Amino acid sequence: MPSSPAVPNPRAADDRPALVLANLGTPAEPSPTAVRFFLREFLSDRRVIEMHPLLWRPVLEGVILRVRPRASAAKYATIWRPGQVGRSGSPLMHYSERQGELLQHELGESVQVRIAMRYGQPSLRRVMGDLMDAGRRRIAVIPLYPQYAASASGTVIDEVARFILASRNQPELRTIRSFEASPAYIEALATALEQHWKIHGRPDPAAGEHLLLSFHSIPQAMHDAGDPYRTECERTVELLTRRLDLPDGLARLTFQSVFGPAAWIGPATIDTVGELGSAGCPRLDVICPGFFSDCLETLEEINQLNRETFTTAGGGSFHYIPWGNDSEGAIATLAEQARNVLAGWI
């Protein structure tokens, strides 16, 4: 009697590794309901808000989620990609998907590249679960934050750990902590600036022109508790300044996206922009090295709000300079990190 054909085991091991690119996330659409859902998950993370839930929850549910979603939805609407609906209209999602596609092409079929979001969809735990169900037993995760902060890279690794804790059959796991001094990353930033300056010329500090390197801020209390984030931002600025041979006084390190009444590390980008505008700065170039994909914080906060603040205060020309997204430099940076974390697997 002929034997029955073998039935494939969907949980059988697959020797090919998987690589997950993990970004922050995005609302499903620029509506108050979608933004409220997104903010609830984001602001409920105790790495993001280091306050006991019994104290924080009434503020979150009773004040913030009643007021902020409508205003934030209006801001998201100004950057949503024209003609696109749902998450595909989000610049962060669009560029994350492009990064996954281009990195997959760069690395070849010996590894499966997936994107995941820490908040919203596709969720990090869902993506890792799907990979395990597909038989992947070697999974590497790269948080898309060049500088380590507990409230950014740290919360990605937390979520990975929660997945591991809940798994009976655990994968072999690798992660990247940060890459603030990565040669490919510094080169990507430098190339973006050089390409812009090839067209517009370098800003001249003797003429009162400036370059701002604006990073997302963190609360001062997190810094005081030992978070290395500011140090890693300063390291990036130091290496980039050296790579570009910038004269003293041209580049300034600032911090953006302050939220709530607590003290945050500074100087604040918005304050610096206003001061330079009031002083009659004839030209201001701004690059955001900590954001791997354009998003609300770069497209609305920097290129709209800070631009308006600068020019209204009396400043001259304002240039926001993208560097990441689907640029060659961004993909080269990801490929460098991927080959590091996948060494010995491919």
**pLDDT tens over the chain, length 346 residues:** 444 444 445 455 678 899 999 999 999 999 999 999 999 999 999 999 999 999 999 999 999 999 999 999 999 999 999 877 777 899 999 999 999 999 999 999 999 999 999 999 999 999 999 999 999 999 999 999 999 999 999 999 999 999 999 999 999 999 999 999 999 999 999 999 999 999 999 999 999 999 999 999 999 999 999 999 999 999 999 999 999 999 988 999 999 999 778 899 999 999 999 999 999 999 999 999 999 999 999 999 999 999 999 999 999 999 999 999 999 999 999 999 999 999 999 8
Q: Contact at 8 Å (CB) between 326 and 98?
A: yes
pLDDT at 2: 47
The phi, psi pair for 274, rounded to 5°, reads: -65, -40
CATH number of 18-179+329-342: 3.40.50.1400
The whole-number pLDDT of residue 13 equals 65
Q: How far, in Å, CA of 110 to CA of 108, rounded? A: 6
Query: Which pair of tokens denotes residue 306?
Result: 């800070």
The strand ranges marked E within 208-332 are 210-216, 251-256, 283-287, 317-320
pLDDT of residue 1: 46
Distance, CA of 322 to CA of 235 (rounded, Å): 20
Q: What is the pLDDT of residue 11?
A: 52
State the CB neighbour count (10 A cutoff) for residue 153: 24
Over the Cα atoms of the chain, what is R_g?
Answer: 22
CATH of domain 183-321: 3.40.50.1400
Known binding-site residues equal 216, 297
Q: What kind and span of H or E run contains 117?
A: strand 112-119
Residue 38 CA to residue 32 CA, distance in Å, equals 10
Angle subtended by helix axes 91-107 and 328-341, to nearest 10: 60
Interatomic CA distance for residues 32 and 338, integer angstroms: 37
Q: Show binding-site residues for Fe(2+).
A: 216, 297
Instruction: Indicate the SS3 state at residue 127.
Output: helix
Helix (H) or strand (E) holding 23: strand 18-25
Q: Which amino acid is at 173?
A: L
* Neighbouring residues of 331: CB distance < 8 A, sequence distance ≥ 6: 99, 102, 103, 106
Strand partners, 119: 25
- Residue 6: predicted pLDDT: 44
Please give the model's pTM, rounded to 2 decimal places. 0.92
What's the pLDDT at 91? 96
Q: Where in the chain is the domain with CATH 3.40.50.1400?
A: 18-179+329-342, 183-321
**pLDDT computed for residue 14 by the predictor:** 72
Q: Could you tell me which residues are beta bridge partners of residue 241?
A: none
pLDDT of residue 122: 96
| pLDDT confidence of residue 8 | 44
